Amino acid sequence: MAPSGSLVASLAGLLLLLLGAPWTYGRRSSVRVITDQNWRDLLQGDWMIEFYAPWCPACQNLQPEWESFAEWGEDLEVNVAKVDVTEQPGLSGRFIITALPTIYHCKDGEFRRYQGPRTKKDFINFVTDEEWKSIEPVSSWFGPGSVLMSSMSALFQLSMWIRTCHNYFIEDLGLPVWGSYTVFALITLLSGLLLGLCMIFVADCLCPSKRRRPQPYPSKKILPESSPPLKKVEEEQEADEEDVSEEEAESKGGANKDFPQNAVRQRSVGPSLATDNP
């Protein structure tokens, strides 16, 4: 009879464990998991969000308190959530997570960073006493929905993709480390060339350059602007020639006038000389 009693006891214990497992799982499911696909749910309602990593000792110590606080979420009318930064690097960049664990409070799209004690009681008091009103919200420029933070999220996702590819090249394909770096260097060069060509094409379409026709050799007929200087030079040359001709004419006229006077003097002087020499 004793063996049968122990068998019944063990079966009863197993049954209790099987029945208690869903209840325990249901309690843990009160903490919502936020990903890149559903993070915009945070923009509506009242939220408390924890950013953690499984390997972080401080995060591991916080998990029991966070789970207990999540059980009060329905009574406090606040949604309790968590984000695994190792699985969601884009959200860690979008919220600028520099330390773990990091806790944010969100009220209708306004995010405030919680920096108080990390106990269940303190979390409850923070929500019920509305202590979050004394904390300045994050600027809209650095909000998770801004263009700046969206770009930061894309960079974080790109870095994670590069890391995954690097591990694939080394572990699966068996490439050396320098070989993986060479592949990334070539990809960077090619992407830069393609991006530059695309930018030049877009700039040429938006602001096309004006094509200038070659100008012909300047001449008097085609370029009337060049004729006035030439005319002035010709007029000056003609004026100089006229001055020279006038001077020559005056010099000739003076010589002709002096000739008869000299002849008269010679004639008048000639007889006197004859009379003086008998």
Q: Is 59 a residue of the active site?
A: yes
Cα–Cα distance, 164 to 159 (Å, whole number): 9
Cα–Cα distance, 94 to 148 (Å, whole number): 9
Q: Can you list the positions of beta strands (E) in the chain?
A: 32-33, 46-52, 79-84, 102-107, 110-114
Q: Is 106 a residue of the active site?
A: no
Written as one letter, the residue type at 41 is: D
Catalytic-labelled residue, pool 56, 106, 165, 198: 56
Instruction: Identify whether 101 is preceded by a cis peptide bond (ω within 30 of 0).
Output: yes
State the residue for tokens 């696909």. 37
Secondary structure class of 76 (helix, strand, coil): helix
Cα–Cα distance, 147 to 256 (Å, whole number): 104
Structure tokens of 64? 């029991």
Length reported for the chain: 278
Structure tokens of 146? 């801004």
Alpha-carbon distances of 277 from 60, 220, 263, 265, 268, rounded to whole Å: 159, 77, 21, 19, 15
Residues tagged active-site: 56, 59
